[in-house]
Amino acid sequence: MELEAIPGVGAKTAASLRELDDPVATVESGDVAAIARAPGVNEARAARIARGAIRRRHGDDGRVLATDRARELYREAIDLLRERTVTDYAAKRLETFYPSASASRIAEAQSFAAAAADRDPDPAVREALADCAPLSDPPTVRVRDRCLATADAETLARAEAEVPELSVETVEDARDVSELGRSYASVIVLDESFAGLDVEGDVSVRPDALEAPAETVPERLLAFFAENRDRLEAAAAVHEAAAAAGDPVSGGGPPVALDRLRDALSRLDDDGTIAGDAELDRLTAAVDDLDAAVSTAASVADDRLREAIRERDVTIEGTDFLSLVEQGARVDSLLDRELADEYDAAVDAAREHLADALRLEPEEAELAERVFGGDPSFPVDHDESAVSRLRTELSAARDRRAAKLKADLASDLGDLRQPVKELVRDALELDVELAVARFARDFDCTLPEVVEPAGDDDGGEAPPAGFRIEGGRSPLLDVDFPDVEPVDYGVSGATLLSGVNSGGKTSTLDLVALVVVLAQMGMPVPAESATVERFEEIHYYAKSQGTLDAGAFEATLRDFGDLVDGADGRLVLVDELESITEPGASAKIIAGILEALDDQDATAVFVSHLAREIRAAADFEVAVDGIEAAGLVDGELRVNRSPKKGHLARSTPELIVEKLADDRGGEFYGDLLEKF
């Protein structure tokens, strides 16, 4: 698949996506977090890219949401789902679900939703999800003690691009390699021509080093796991909580053994270095504490020697005294002659302290012995070159130990990188599923039946399938959901919906639109049952705020002219179109629109208070449904919320006149009532 073929992906975005390991597979997976790892692509943009890829895969080029109000209903539906997520990832991932005109996409989404709705949204799992987040790429780690070397310009360029963590040096011969061996703890030569090279230092010839980055620069893999430690532990906790709740994330268990993962992470420090190895800790501390330990050891020797001098009576002959004065108070010869044993004991104490303080091994202690000794002196002196030699040996041992441990740990973690990606992705996807499950439970949802438009298989002779909703309750109303009265309503063809003011006509339109939008998203709908035609477009026109001026009125008519021009497969919902102009003209206009929609076999519901006038002006038998009022009780309207088929509902004024006629009687109220 060409990335540029995805709707909304231009050349610049495609170039960013190609920075991903497997851009096509990543984009097609719908994994918003993985797509967002492309340079310059945030999660919101990643969701749009994933949605575009889904559209292309299903040949879904249509735009189901054809009006502003239809798009508003979709946003409200998405928000209801997003409110039930825990992670930012899940909130963005839900954006990849959209009302589709593609049967295959709807079926695919319904399959996901059906499995999700069976999930148990356990509170412990929700709590564990709170710390879950997508994996992130760590900053590039610079490794100073190792380098790559090559004599080939192309290899040099490739190495610099593929292994930015290491310096890449140019060499021409063995002498150049030997010099690098003295400057770096280890050197990796990339050219086969240097095979058999024998130079001093840790130098290896590995032409395949660039193909094995985990061996060449294990710090890269370790940095990845160190950067994502908390995310991995959080994902592991999600899997464990879900399993404990009896609803595991996946049937086969986590894609990685969690004990093995935690053991590996315990050997890794937060900065990507090795943790928990006593020998490495010893060597690291020895290098860090060497200067301080040497200074303290010298003080130990000085204290021992000072105490010995205090306890001894030393006789100084005249010639010795004269020599001390002439030599500026040098005491080497005096110490050598009078306090040789005490001096040796003081030096031994310094050596022992240095070895103990640094916890040196026997072979290291032998090097430490050279730090103190030589000609007697007070204060006791140390050999700086011996200290430097000891530091070099300890540093080399530390680096060798660290390199081995890094390589071993990278080897252990190498085959876990893909499984831990799946571990985190599955945990995050679980949040998406649980959001759908909570939505379905909170609003007593069911998975609707989405049917093909009538006529697709029989030459178009049958009327449109339309929609049928049983026990539908809108979660968009400003009341507690348990208090929402259920509505039964179905329409096939062009229909007028009549009813009293505040009787629920607009709420019914909202419910119809919401159910159809959710159904074509592949999501559960808030109803006991529902059957919905797979509409190509949803046109929902909200109630106009006041009469339109001539220009706006003309624009509105043009919109409806475009609408009725080929309205097959469309759902049209219109709320009180008569408010755009004078009632007499409105009735004629609505009648004409309904005639055109009826000719196109579209499904349409027009809410109107002019049902009688529209029906009189129409050239066909307009279906009229009514939300019937049961009457006024203590000044409050009592309404049967489910529209009654084939019934012209009474208006609020008629109900009031009827009540007055019943309560007060008299010719006046009786005459008024007869006019209705």
**Can you give the pLDDT at residue 217?**
92
The tens digit of pLDDT for each residue in 152-210 reads 999 999 999 999 999 999 999 999 999 999 889 899 999 999 988 888 888 999 999 99
Please give the C-alpha separations between residue 121 and each of 144, 249, 397, 432, in angstroms, as whole numbers. Answer: 49, 12, 53, 11
Query: Cis peptide leading into 524, omega within 30 of 0?
Result: no
CB 535 within 8 A of CB 569: yes
Q: What is the arithmetic mean of pLDDT over 197-226?
A: 91
**Can you give the pLDDT at residue 675?**
58
Q: Kindly report the backbone phi and psi dihedral angles of residue 631, in degrees, each rounded to the nearest multiple of 5, phi listed first.
A: 140, -175
**Can you give the pLDDT at residue 567?**
61
Q: What is the arithmetic mean of pLDDT over 634-655?
A: 74
CA angle 80, 81, 87 (to 5 degrees): 125
**Can you give the pLDDT at residue 637?**
64
CB 573 within 8 A of CB 610: no
Residue 533, both tokens? 């035609």
Residues in the chain, overall count: 676
Confidence band, pLDDT 50/70/90 cuts, at residue 660: low
The tens digit of pLDDT for each residue in 516-573 reads 999 999 999 999 999 999 999 999 998 876 555 556 667 777 777 777 776 678 899 9
Q: What is the arithmetic mean of pLDDT over 641-669?
A: 71
The tens digit of pLDDT for each residue in 433-481 reads 999 999 999 999 999 999 988 655 555 455 568 999 999 999 999 999 9
327 pLDDT exceeds 60? no
The tens digit of pLDDT for each residue in 351-385 reads 999 999 999 999 888 888 888 876 677 787 888 98
| Selected residue with higher pLDDT from 232 and 647 | 232
- The DSSP result for 406-452, as a single string, is HHHHHHHHHTTHHHHHHHHHHHHHHHHHHHHHHHHHHTT-BPPEEEP
Please give the C-alpha separations between residue 21 and each of 37, 44, 161, in angstroms, as whole numbers. Answer: 10, 20, 15
Q: End-to-end distance of the chain based on CA atoms, in angstroms?
A: 65
Distance CA 252, CA 250 (A): 6
76 pLDDT exceeds 90? yes
CA angle 433, 439, 441 (to 5 degrees): 105
Distance CA 116, CA 432 (A): 8
Confidence band, pLDDT 50/70/90 cuts, at residue 633: low
Amino acid identity, residue 100?
S
Residue 158, both tokens? 């490739």
Question: 154-180 burial string, b = 16+ CB within 10 Å, else e?
Answer: ebbeebeebbebbbbbebeeeebbbeb
Edge-first strand listing for the sheet containing 203-205: 167-170, 146-150, 186-189, 203-205
The tens digit of pLDDT for each residue in 107-137 reads 999 999 999 999 989 999 999 999 999 999 8
Q: What is the arithmetic mean of pLDDT over 328-336?
A: 51
Burial class (CB in 10 A: 0-12, 13-18, 19+), 659: middle
**Can you give the pLDDT at residue 33?**
83
**Can you give the pLDDT at residue 619?**
86
669 pLDDT exceeds 90? no
Residue 287, both tokens? 């290098």
Closest listed residue to residue 275, CA positions, set 368, 386, 409: 409
Q: What percent of the chain has pLDDT over 70?
A: 86
CB 197 within 8 A of CB 189: yes
**Can you give the pLDDT at residue 73?**
96
Confidence band, pLDDT 50/70/90 cuts, at residue 599: confident
**Can you give the pLDDT at residue 326?**
47
313 pLDDT exceeds 60? no
332 pLDDT exceeds 50? yes
Q: Chain-wide mean pLDDT for the chain?
A: 86
For every residue of 392-417, which 3-state class applies, written as one string? Answer: HHHHHHHHHHHHHHHHHHHHHHHCCH
Distance CA 588, CA 72 (A): 29
Q: Specify the DSSP element, H or E, that contains 59.
A: none
**Can you give the pLDDT at residue 664?**
64
Q: Is 190 helix (H, G, I), strand (E, B) or coil?
A: coil
Distance CA 200, CA 181 (A): 7
Residue 169, both tokens? 């040096």
Residue 521, both tokens? 């998203």
Question: 633-643 burial string, b = 16+ CB within 10 Å, else e?
Answer: eeeebebbbbb
Confidence band, pLDDT 50/70/90 cuts, at residue 329: very low
